[in-house]
């Protein structure tokens, strides 16, 4: 049972987002003043032509890539300038504070930065195989060849006298995975074996409480490396690669080590420095910074169904780490310019002077991003379960099987409902990445109206399945489930919940009574008046947020308050009627017994074509007015829903068919002497793009 409730998730996420909102300004302050592309490490550091701080610039680029915040640092052509920045790094001398040329640390950070830029579409994958640089001892090679050379021998991850570390290998695996750089199966096997041995070694020291040699951060990074490798080899198509899974620790062992990690967190909120990754000849020891480790932990173990990440110990630990970020955010002024951010404590002089470091600031923002992202996904997981949402399953067959419906849009020629929704909503929404802090670039809301039984709910379900998004159903009962006296607060709660969702389809169903027109002609009770006025700004707010698709389905749009149909709430107004007879005939197999042979279906289609040709125009129009379910019932009345019954259709005489049609037409929703028919004729004039 989770110790983490929705209120905890929201409080923690809001705190992380408050700090994360400063990211663009924090990192932009360290921009190289000459090239305007790369970054300096310290506030007072001079900008010198051709002086590229490779690892510092990589950290800043990775942070901005992860959060999609390049426009805050590069206002003009942000993606192009990010590409130019990486090209400058790629061509620079890969050194770092006295480390040798092309050292493993600098190389790995370049590879990971490349991977992140490829994953977000800023760099093309082919960059890794087409751009060449000098790399001793390989000569003139591309980044892919460098990565494969490193992977071939784990000892190549040594830095001076320091043995390879899990942190360095984790960043390497993360980079080649994101960047689509393939390596040989035997090299994956070697990585898995090394990772397993390192994890078992580090965990045993921590569990034993061996204060002299244990290193909880090294244990956590080895767990992250193992988790990352499990994702690579789990489900791999190549059998040899899939077999590597048995070399790795189980998920339970890895998650337990993360719980153990938080037992060693210092009261300050960060972890003590244990053993360095390596030593900078010109700058001292380099330790894995707490927030480098936490970023990896959240990325690898922050999945919504992980119970380990929901425990009070982990929640308390993350709160403590966040408190450290709040309390230790530094402000420094150099050349009359403010610098804000964090210091890793690697250089005591800069720490004592309270100078922020660009790389440490970038890393803290990466942690904050991963933290709020994990919490956002977790909140959605809780809410989808609470609202009984359908699962997110990509299934275009439901959409393809749905019969289409003619619709007339103002200013456009006749088209089809599915065509409108696919072009205007589904295609733009399919490009949207949930929880990316971006908006859906296209129309994202629709009012579906028309007579009962015209498959409005089924249409929405198929749309959600086409996108592969969960479907949340909201109906009036949810506003009233705590009693009439709580309806005001329930409206606030429901829309607060909806604002926490991303990459979801929401259907407001049967909401007619809650959005009825205001005015003297239709006096409303206090509940309807409140919800009419309350729904307008809430729908507008949901629309402005732009993170989900929402639809209203109603039978009575004529009674809607005109304000609710104005632009800014619904992008599309669609009258959803029954499918035309031509569409029903094309898909006649949907209305016949399931095991009807295809040759029989073809014969029945031909027979029905001839029978309908014998009908007068009024009878043909009646066939157009049958809803999907009514058409199903009509044919079941003839076939008795049996395979043998299909022969009755083939034996029908024109007079018999017309008789069936006349009798059944007395009971359909859109019979021409009924109220629904007149309203439907009016509704057809209301469809439009807003």
Flag whether pLDDT at 556 surpasses 80: no
Q: What is the pTM for the complete model shown?
A: 0.88
Question: pLDDT grade, residue 491 (50/70/90)?
Answer: confident
Cα distance between residue 603 and residue 611, in whole Å: 12
Cα–Cα separations (whole angstroms), residue 350 to 344, 353, 358: 10, 5, 12
Cα–Cα separations (whole angstroms), residue 167 to 274, 281, 288, 415, 554: 13, 20, 7, 57, 56
Q: What is the pLDDT of residue 516?
A: 60
Flag whether pLDDT at 559 surpasses 90: no
Give the alpha-carbon dihedral of 411, 417, 421, 424, to 10 degrees: -20
Cα distance between residue 228 and residue 213, in whole Å: 25
Flag whether pLDDT at 31 surpasses 90: yes
Q: Residues with Cβ < 8 Å from 577, sequence gap 6 or more?
A: 405, 406, 407, 450, 451, 454, 670, 680, 683, 684
Q: What's 425's DSSP letter? A: I
CA end-to-end span of the chain: 46
Looking at the DSSP assignment, which residues form a beta bridge with residue 509?
553
Q: What is the pLDDT of residue 529?
A: 63
Cα–Cα separations (whole angstroms), residue 220 to 286, 372, 497: 17, 20, 34
Flag whether pLDDT at 3 surpasses 60: no
Q: What is the pLDDT of residue 545?
A: 94
Question: pLDDT grade, residue 1 (50/70/90)?
Answer: very low
Q: What's 426's DSSP letter? A: I
Question: pLDDT grade, residue 544 (50/70/90)?
Answer: very high
Q: Point out the least confidently predicted range of 235-239, 244-248, 443-447, 621-625.
A: 235-239
Q: Which two tokens stand for residue 588?
A: 């006649």
Mean pLDDT of the region 532-540: 80
Find tokens 């403010």 and name the residue: 338
Give the alpha-carbon dihedral of 376, 382, 388, 394, to 10 degrees: 40
Find tokens 């970023």 and name the residue: 295
- How do residues 498-511 score in pLDDT, each as one tens digit? 999 999 999 999 88
Cα distance between residue 115 and residue 119, in whole Å: 6
Q: What is the pLDDT of residue 438?
A: 86
Q: Residues with Cβ < 8 Å from 48, sequence gap 6 or more?
A: 34
- How do residues 643-662 score in pLDDT, each as one tens digit? 777 888 999 999 999 999 99
Mean pLDDT of the region 86-110: 93
The DSSP secondary structure of 148-179, one letter per residue, reads HHHHT-GGGG-BTTBPP-HHHHHHHHHHHHHH
Cα distance between residue 445 and residue 549, in whole Å: 6
Find tokens 């409730």 and name the residue: 5
The angle formed by the CA atoms of residues 491, 543 and 14, to the nearest 5 degrees, is 70
Q: Which CATH superfamily is domain 387-578 in?
A: P-loop containing nucleotide triphosphate hydrolases (3.40.50.300)
Sequence spans of domains, the chain: 6-385, 387-578, 581-669
Find tokens 């604002």 and name the residue: 499
Q: What is the pLDDT of residue 50?
A: 85
Question: pLDDT grade, residue 517 (50/70/90)?
Answer: low
Q: What is the pLDDT of residue 487?
A: 77
Q: Residues with Cβ < 8 Å from 192, sequence gap 6 or more?
A: 229, 233, 244, 247, 248
Question: pLDDT exceeding 90 applies to what percent of the chain?
Answer: 68
Strands 330-334 and 284-286: unpaired
Cα–Cα separations (whole angstroms), residue 372 to 288, 378, 437: 22, 10, 11
Flag whether pLDDT at 568 surpasses 60: yes
Q: Point out the least confidently predicted range of 168-172, 200-204, 215-219, 375-379.
A: 375-379
Cα–Cα separations (whole angstroms), residue 249 to 243, 257, 297, 373: 13, 11, 16, 26
- Mean pLDDT, the chain, rounded, equals 90
6-385: CATH architecture:
Alpha/alpha barrel (1.50)
């Amino acid at each position: 049972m989770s110790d983490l409730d929705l209120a905890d998730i929201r409080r923690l996420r809001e705190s992380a987002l408050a700090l994360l909102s400063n990211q663009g300004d924090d990192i932009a302050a360290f921009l190289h003043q000459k090239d305007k592309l790369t970054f300096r490490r310290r506030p007072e550091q001079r900008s010198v032509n051709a002086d590229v701080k490779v690892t510092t610039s990589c950290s800043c680029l990775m942070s901005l890539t992860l959060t999609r915040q390049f426009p805050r640092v590069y206002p003009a052509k942000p993606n192009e300038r990010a590409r130019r920045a990486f090209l400058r790094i790629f061509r620079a001398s890969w050194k770092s504070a006295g480390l040798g040329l092309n050292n493993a640390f600098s190389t790995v950070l370049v590879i990971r930065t490349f991977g992140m830029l490829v994953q977000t579409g800023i760099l093309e994958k082919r960059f890794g195989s087409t751009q060449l640089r000098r790399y001793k001892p390989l000569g003139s090679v591309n980044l892919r060849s460098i990565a494969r050379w490193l992977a071939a021998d784990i000892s190549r991850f040594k830095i001076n006298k320091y043995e390879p570390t899990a942190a360095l290998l984790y960043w390497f695996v993360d980079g080649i995975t994101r960047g689509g750089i393939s390596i040989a199966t035997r090299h994956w096997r070697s990585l898995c074996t090394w990772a397993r041995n390192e994890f078992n070694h580090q965990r045993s020291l921590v569990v034993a409480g061996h204060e002299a040699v244990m290193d909880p951060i090294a244990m956590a990074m080895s767990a992250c490396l193992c988790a990352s490798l499990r994702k690579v080899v789990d489900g791999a198509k190549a059998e040899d690669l899939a077999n590597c899974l048995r070399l790795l620790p189980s998920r339970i062992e890895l998650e337990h080590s993360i719980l153990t990690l938080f037992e060693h967190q210092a009261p300050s909120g960060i972890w003590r420095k244990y053993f360095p990754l390596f030593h900078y000849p010109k700058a001292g020891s380099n330790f894995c910074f707490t927030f480098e480790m936490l970023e990896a932990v959240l990325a690898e173990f922050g999945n919504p169904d992980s119970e380990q990440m929901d425990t009070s110990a982990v929640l308390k630990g993350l709160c403590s780490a966040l408190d450290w970020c709040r309390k230790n955010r530094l402000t420094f002024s150099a050349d009359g310019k403010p610098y804000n951010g964090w210091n890793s404590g690697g250089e005591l002089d800069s720490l004592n002077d309270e100078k922020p470091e660009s790389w440490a600031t970038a890393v803290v923002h990466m942690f904050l991003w991963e933290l709020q992202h994990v919490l956002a996904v977790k909140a959605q997981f809780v809410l989808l379960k609470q609202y009984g949402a359908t699962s997110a399953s990509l299934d275009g067959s439901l959409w393809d099987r749905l019969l289409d419906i003619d619709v007339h849009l103002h200013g456009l020629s006749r088209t089809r409902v599915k065509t409108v929704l696919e072009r205007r909503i589904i295609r733009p929404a399919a490009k949207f990445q949930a929880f990316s802090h971006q908006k859906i670039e296209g129309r994202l809301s629709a009012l579906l109206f028309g007579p009962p039984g015209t498959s409005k709910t089924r249409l929405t379900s198929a749309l959600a399945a086409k996108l592969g998004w969960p479907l949340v159903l909201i109906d009036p009962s949810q506003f009233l489930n705590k009693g009439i006296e709580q309806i005001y607060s329930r409206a606030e709660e429901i829309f607060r919940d909806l604002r926490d969702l991303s990459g979801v389809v929401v259907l407001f169903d049967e909401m007619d009574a809650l959005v009825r027109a205001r005015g003297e002609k239709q006096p409303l009770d206090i509940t309807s008046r409140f919800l009419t006025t309350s729904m307008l700004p809430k729908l507008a707010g949901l629309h402005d947020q732009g993170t989900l698709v929402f639809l209203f389905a109603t039978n009575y749009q004529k009674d809607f308050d005109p304000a609710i149909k104005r632009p800014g709430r619904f992008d599309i107004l669609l009258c959803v009627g029954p499918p035309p007879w031509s569409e029903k005939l094309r898909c006649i197999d949907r209305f016949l017994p399931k095991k009807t042979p295809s040759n029989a279906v073809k014969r029945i289609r031909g027979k029905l074509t001839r029978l309908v040709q014998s009908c007068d125009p009024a009878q043909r129009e009646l066939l157009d007015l049958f809803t999907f379910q009514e058409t199903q019932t009509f044919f079941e009345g003839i076939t008795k829903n049996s395979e043998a019954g299909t022969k009755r259709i083939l034996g029908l005489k024109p007079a018999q068919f017309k008789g069936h049609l006349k009798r059944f037409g007395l009971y359909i929703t859109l019979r021409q002497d009924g109220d629904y028919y007149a309203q439907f004729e009016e509704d057809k004039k209301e469809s439009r793009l807003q």
